[in-house]
Structure 1
Amino acid sequence: MKHYSKIALGLLLVSSVALTSCRQDNTVTPDPPMESIYARLGGSTMVPDPDNAGQMIEQGRLNFRKVVNSAIGLIAADANNNVSGNLGDYFKVLLAEVNAGNTTGFAELSDNLTSFFSYNTGGTNAVNTYKGDDMVTAHDPSKNSRIGKKVTAEDYTKFEGYVGKAANMNGVAADTQLYKDIVAVLESLRPQIIQK
């Protein structure tokens, strides 16, 4: 009996060492979860608002606003210069207002888009609450008189190109993964926005 006990004890010891070493060799430490897009753009860190003297703004929201405003500016510039394939037909009302010196619609569009992207990428505080229409309604000319026509797949791709150029202009595209994540957000909206 002692002989079997020593053998059993020896096997148990060898098995426990083998199993322990296997467990240690095969243990995979998961990567920490990636920060939200909003957090990677600066998140809720408060910084001076360059457009509103004496006011503060979250860095994430400011970075989104810069990209949004640059993208709108690029679209408007191409539309005003009659660049072939421009997106001006979608923004006729807005462009007419801006050309007449009325920037109220521009400010509202900028604020709505900034809030939409900020909120939907991790900026979940009250400042970033989106108050505009859902994407289907916002892009349907029969429900939204401010959009000139239904969006095509080709034109949505052009819009993404303007956003990409605006991201480059504002240093956002320097972080390749961040840029890819922003494009993924835009692509997730494609089925709701394209209506033609």
Structure 2
Amino acid sequence: MKNFSKITLSVLIVASATLTSCSNNDDEATPMPVAKATIYERLGGTKMVTDPDNPGMMIEQGRLSYRKVVNSTIGLIVADIQSNAAGNLQAHFAPLLAETGDTQATNIAKLSDNLTDFFSFNTGGTNAVNTYSGLSMVAAHNPATNARMGTKASNADYTKFEGYVGAAANANGVASNTELYTDVVAVLESLRTPIVQK
């Protein structure tokens, strides 16, 4: 009986070692997939940095990166509108541009904050600073539900807007990271259907 127990024990140990080694080989052959960082994290995430626009204040690097691109995009759109170039986006922003003085500056700042909130919240910025409580994309881009929207957008208008975002991303170093830039473009393309309404 003792021999049977020793043989049984030996078989169990060998089987256990074999199964363990097979299990380890399987783990090595199929590693667990690593979760890809969100766009917000790849733009700097929640790392706190000095806010260049507000002395003495701190801002998350991800939010600052978005704000820089948003502000540059708004600047490119306004410059194009002021140049009276054919096919510019003036009709879309006419109500905002018709405002004057402090009202216009305040509302352009609100537009910047709103867009920064929207992109930060929807690409991984999850803390209380990055919340979006504005209109849905359909309502925000329909003059019937948003008096600050001058006209509905066509595919050509949206493509032009994407071009401005691309130029702004390039000017702010985002486009130099091809994978990140591709992901940002994918987010913009996902918004085309609700925004394009003409």
- Which SS does the other structure have where 2:84 is aligned? coil
| Equivalent-residue separation in structure 2 for 1:26 and 1:58 (angstroms) | 37
Aligned-pair CA distance for 1:92: 0.7
Separation of aligned partners in 1, 2:103 and 2:121: 30
What is the CA–CA distance in structure 2 between the aligned matches of 1:59 and 1:167, rounded to whole Å? 15
Identity among equivalent positions (%) equals 59
Q: Distance in 2 between matches of 1:106 and 1:25?
A: 54
1:35 counterpart residue number: 37
Tell me if structure 2 keeps the 8 A contact 1:68–1:113.
yes
CA offset at residue 46 of structure 1?
0.7
Residue in 2 aligned with 1:111? 113
Whole-Å separation in 2 of the counterparts to 1:99 and 1:170: 28
TM-score (norm 2): 0.85
Q: For 2:34, what is the secondary structure of its paired residue?
A: coil
Contact kept? 1:98, 1:106, Cα under 8 Å: no
Give the secondary structure class of the aligned counterpart of 1:147: coil
Give, in whole Å, the separation in 2 of the partners of 1:28 and 1:191: 38
- Choose which of 78, 86, 89 in structure 2 pairs with 1:87: 89
1:180 lines up with 2:191 in the alignment:
no
Other-structure match for 2:56? 54
Summarize the Cα distance change of 1:28–1:162 in structure 2 as closer, same or farther, 3 Å threshold: same
Mapped contact 2:97–2:104 kept (Cα < 8 A): no
Distance in 2, matches of 1:152 and 1:51, equals 34
1:158 aligned to which of 153, 160, 169: 160
Query: 2: CA distance between counterparts of 1:64 and 1:72?
Result: 12
C-alpha separation between the residues in 2 aligned to 1:115 and 1:155? Answer: 23
Deviation at 1:59, TM superposition (A): 0.5
Q: Give the Cα separation in 2 of the matches to 1:185 and 1:106.
A: 23
Q: Offset of 1:63 from its aligned partner?
A: 0.4
Once superposed, what is the RMSD of the aligned Cα atoms?
A: 2.4
Give the distance between the partners of 1:50 and 1:87, measured in 2 at CA: 29
**Distance in 1 between residues matched to 2:100 and 2:111, nearest whole Å:** 12
What is the rounded CA distance, in whole Å, between the counterparts of 1:33 and 1:134 in structure 2?
A: 29
Alignment gaps of 5+ in structure 2: 1-10
Unaligned runs of 5+ in 1: 1-8
AA in 2 matched with 1:40: R
2: CA distance, partners of 1:190 / 1:74: 20
Dislocated runs of 4+, deviation >6 Å:
none
Q: Return the alpha-carbon distance in structure 2 between the equivalents of residues 135 and 129 of structure 1.
A: 15
TM-score, normalized by length of structure 1? Answer: 0.86
Do the aligned partners of residues 100 and 84 (structure 1) sit closer, same or farther apart at CA in structure 2, a change above 3 Å counting?
farther
| Residue pair 1:43, 1:123 contacting (<8 A) in 2 also | yes
Given residue 174 of structure 2, which amino acid in structure 1 is its aligned partner? V
